[in-house]
Copies of this chain bind each other. A is one copy, B any other.
Amino acid sequence: MSSNTHHLRNGTAKTTQPRKAITLETMNQHLRKADYAVRGRLAIRAEELREKLKEQNHNLPFVEVVNANIGNPQAMDQRPITFFRQVLALVQYPDLLESEAATTIFPADARERASVLLREIGSVGAYSQSQGVPYIRQSIADFIAQRDGFAADPNDIYLAGGASSAVTSLMTTICNGPQTAVMIPVPQYPLYSASLTIENATAVPYLLDESTCWGTDTAYIASVIRQTIASGVNLKAIVVINPCNPTGSCLTASEIKDIISLAAEHCFMVIADEVYQTNIYEGEFFSFKRMLRELQRDFPGKYDSVELASLHSTSKGMVGECGQRGGYMELIGVDPEVREELYKLVSISLCPVVTGQVLTELMVNPPKEGDESYPLYKQEYDTIYTRLRERALTLFEAFKEMEGVTCQQPKGAMYLFPTITLPPNAIKEAQRRNEEPDEFYCMQLLESTGVCVVPGSGFGQKDGTFHFRTTFLAPGKEYVDRMLQFHKEFLKKFS
């Protein structure tokens, strides 16, 4: 502002900052410390490059920006599942249910589902119960019961505006200052480290084992637990992401049961991020809830007190409806008084978006064999699944061709997390620029190819190793070829 610019006699201008109440120094220092790389510096630069591409003489060596930094399938070529969108359109505009013309557009089962949901909800423009619409919670409980073979209780379900929102509420509830320790995997989805930093709690990393396809090593985790407890903090929870973001791995039943056993033995909560539970390309998904119920059944009394939070979302899987903000959390074994406090917290935000709740109901209760919409649903679902699997393998095969790059077989989720061996000169150049070496690599990749990925340092990695996370959602192989070409030139330049 001109009034704050004083022209000095020698012709230079000195700007005095206007006095502000809220500055970097006075604001929330915990927030200031938090890192969230998925939408960080690289993502912002990618947006700038996308804008630049619109200019006539942009001089950029690529014609498109590929956002492989974020699992956002409908920003790529993934189309939504028709049945879901039909029901969502009907609940938004119920007059369609009365319209003769609409009967030619919407199948009967979509109209029927919309009617049932509207009867239960009233208007999607009204606040629902803070925990979510009772009917939808019942549907979710039915889905869990069928998935696991063990009953589920609708009162244990908390709808949320995406799983991220559920995680944030949970962390706010359980964290009580730096004495609260929560174990998080390394690498991890940085929502966890960021929310713990903001809550001023202590994140205790446990490394995943790249050599066993990013598995969990029980003996090692037990040793981290013992060290954590010995250090005097209160270990209150462990976060497990399965299938894993960013590594693309899946845990075995016994790995999961081992973690639950450690939780029972040392009395801490298990937070199971299971949003990728249908993104399975090899092997099988075992839910923490089912494994817990099996342990409770097989060892009566021993596992009764285990506290489990399991998260699911409409953003991932074959649904891929990120912008709709649907998701839920199931809470098992949590102290009723604590649940009341969590209820109070979520009620301050009134309710999760009701259309997101509707979409969650559709996800857990899709058209069944024999329903009018089933054939199209099945075809769309299978096409998305097959395509994701193919793209994962295409990228995986490409990484095999890249010198100094090794990548674990993709088993689940939407990501590959290859190791990259960087030449010493590249590491030196990064240090000179005051960047992490893998951040430097990723920024160079973005500037050269338009492909935006996230450096491993944004997720955490074993010291001295370097990775990046890339989704395999983008169509075509052209962007992969650009990556291969860049990698060759990068190695040549810095070798």
Q: Which residues of B contact A32 (CB under 8 A)?
A: 341
Q: Is A4 an interface residue (CB 8 A)?
A: yes
A261 contacts partner chain B, Cβ-Cβ < 8 Å: no
Whether B18 contacts A304 by the Cβ 8 Å rule is: yes
Q: Quick check: is A80 within 8 A (CB to CB) of the other chain?
A: yes
Task: Tell whether A162 is near chain B: CB-to-CB under 8 Å.
Answer: yes
Q: How many copies does the complex hold?
A: 2
Contact call B172/A20, Cβ cutoff below 8 A? no
Looking at A102, A125, A345, the one whose CB has the most chain B CB atoms below 10 A away is A125
When distances are taken between beta carbons in the complex, the residues of chain B under 8 Å from A236 are 21-22, 26
- Which B residue sits closest to A176, measured CB to CB? B28
| Alpha-carbon distance A300/B4, docked complex (angstroms) | 11
A23 to B269, CA, bound (A): 11
| A178 on the B face (CB < 8 A) | no
Please determine whether A20 and B335 come into contact, CB atoms closer than 8 angstroms: yes
Complex CA distance for A166 and B31, rounded to whole angstroms: 16
A218 located at the interface, meaning its Cβ lies under 8 Å from any Cβ of chain B in the complex = no
Contact residues in B for A337 (Cβ distance below 8 Å)? 23-24
| A304 CA / B2 CA spacing, docked (Å) | 10
- Bound CA span A425–B174, Å: 42
Q: Find chain B residues with CB under 8 A from A95 CB.
A: 82, 85, 105
Question: A278 an interface residue at 8 Å Cβ cutoff?
Answer: no
User: Is A93 positioned at the interface, with any CB of B under 8 Å from its CB?
Assistant: yes
- Among listed A67-75, A408-416, A459-467, interface-contacting one: A67-75
Which of B31, B80, B350 lies in contact with A125, CB distance below 8 A?
B80
Interface residues on A, range: 35 or more
Q: Are B176 and A198 in contact (CB under 8 A)?
A: no
The docked-state distance in angstroms from the alpha carbon of A1 to that of B336 is: 13
Interface residues of A in 59-86 (CB under 8 A from B): 70, 72-75, 79-80, 82, 85-86
Asked if A252 is at the interface (CB within 8 A of a chain B CB), the reply is: no
> Can you name the residue of chain B whose Cβ is closest to the Cβ of A349?
B164
Q: In the complex, what's the smallest C-beta–C-beta distance from A163 to chain B, in angstroms?
A: 10
Q: A86-B93, A89-B93, A350-B164 in contact; A267/B307 too (CB < 8 A)?
A: no
Query: Does A325 interact with chain B (Cβ within 8 Å)?
Result: yes
A92 in complex: contacting residue of B89, B164, B269, B333, CB < 8 Å: B89
- Verify B90–A338 contact, CB threshold 8 A: no
Let me know if A222 is at the binding interface, CB within 8 A: no
A126/B162 in contact, CB under 8 A: no
Within 8 A of B (CB), among A152-189: 161-162, 164-165, 168, 172-176, 180
Contact A341 B39 (CB under 8 A): no
> With A and B bound together, what is the CA distance between A126 and B314 in angstroms?
11
Alpha-carbon distance A99/B89, docked complex (angstroms): 14
The CA of A120 and the CA of B127, in the complex, are separated in Å by: 28
Kindly list chain B residues whose C-beta atoms are within 8 Å of the C-beta of A175.
Answer: 28
Closest Cβ neighbor of A34 among chain B residues: B344
Given B101, B123, B268, B356, which contacts A21 in the complex, CB threshold below 8 Å? B268
User: A172-B198, A173-B22, A307-B20 are contacts. A161–B344 as well, Cβ < 8 Å?
Assistant: no
Partner of A344, one of B24, B31, B96, B129: B31
Residues of B within 8 A of A29 (CB): 176
Shortest distance in angstroms between A39's beta carbon and chain B's nearest beta carbon? 4
A36 touches B304 (CB 8 A): no
Task: Let me know if B123 and A3 touch, CB within 8 A.
Answer: no
The 7 lowest CB-CB distance pairs between A and B, nearest first, are: A18-B305, A323-B354, A89-B93, A39-B347, A125-B321, A74-B126, A74-B123
Apart from A21-B174, A198-B345, list 13 A-B contacts with CB within 8 A: A3-B301, A20-B335, A27-B173, A31-B345, A75-B123, A80-B125, A101-B102, A125-B321, A161-B353, A162-B350, A195-B348, A324-B355, A355-B355
